Amino acid sequence: ERAEFGMIINNMVKNGKIKAPIVIGRDHLDCGSVASPNRETEDMRDGSDAIADWPLINFALNSIAGASWVSFHHGGGVGIGNSLHAGMVIVADGTREREKRLERVLTVDPGIGIARHVDAGYERAKDIAIKKEIKIPD
C-alpha cells in the first residue's frame, strides 16, 4: 500500500496536480527498523527484542533501494544507548527514475518488518507474507 501511495503522489507531481516535490519519510517507528527492548520491540516472541541486525538491515535495504536519505540513530525516546533505529526519506519528484526508487523503497521498508516478525514466529506476519508474496528465506 505504501508503494502504491508513493506512485500516486509521484504521478500527481508529474501531472502538475501537486506543484512541488513531496517528501515521504518516517523517523524510527516501523516494524523492521527498531531494536528497542523497553518499548517497540519489547517481549518479541523469539526474544529478539534487542537484536540490532534488524534496524541495520533496514538501513542498508533503504540505502540500496534508493532512499533520498537514511539515518541510523539511538535513543528514540527511551534513552541514549537503549535502542537503535533506522529512518528514511524518499522524494516524489514526478520523474520515472524516482518512480522506480519509490516503488523499491516503499516496498522493502515495510517488507523487512514483515520478515522480522515472520522470523520471530508471528503467525499473522506469516499470513501477510504469503498474501503479499514477500519472499522470506527459511
The pLDDT score that the predictor gives to residue 29 is 67
Of 60, 63, 42, 59, the closest CA to residue 51 belongs to 42
What's the pLDDT tens digit per position in 43-61?
999 998 888 899 999 999 9
How many residues can be counted in the chain?
138
Residue type, 138: D
C-alpha cell at 40: 517497540
**Mean of the per-residue pLDDT values of the chain:** 92
Do 55 and 86 meet the contact criterion of CB atoms below 8 Å apart? yes
Burial, 19: exposed, middle or buried (Cβ in 10 Å; 0-12, 13-18, 19+)?
exposed
What's the pLDDT tens digit per position in 66-88?
999 999 998 878 888 888 999 99
Q: What predicted TM-score, i.e. pTM, was given to this entire model? A: 0.89
Residues 68 and 26: their CA atoms lie apart, in Å, by 12
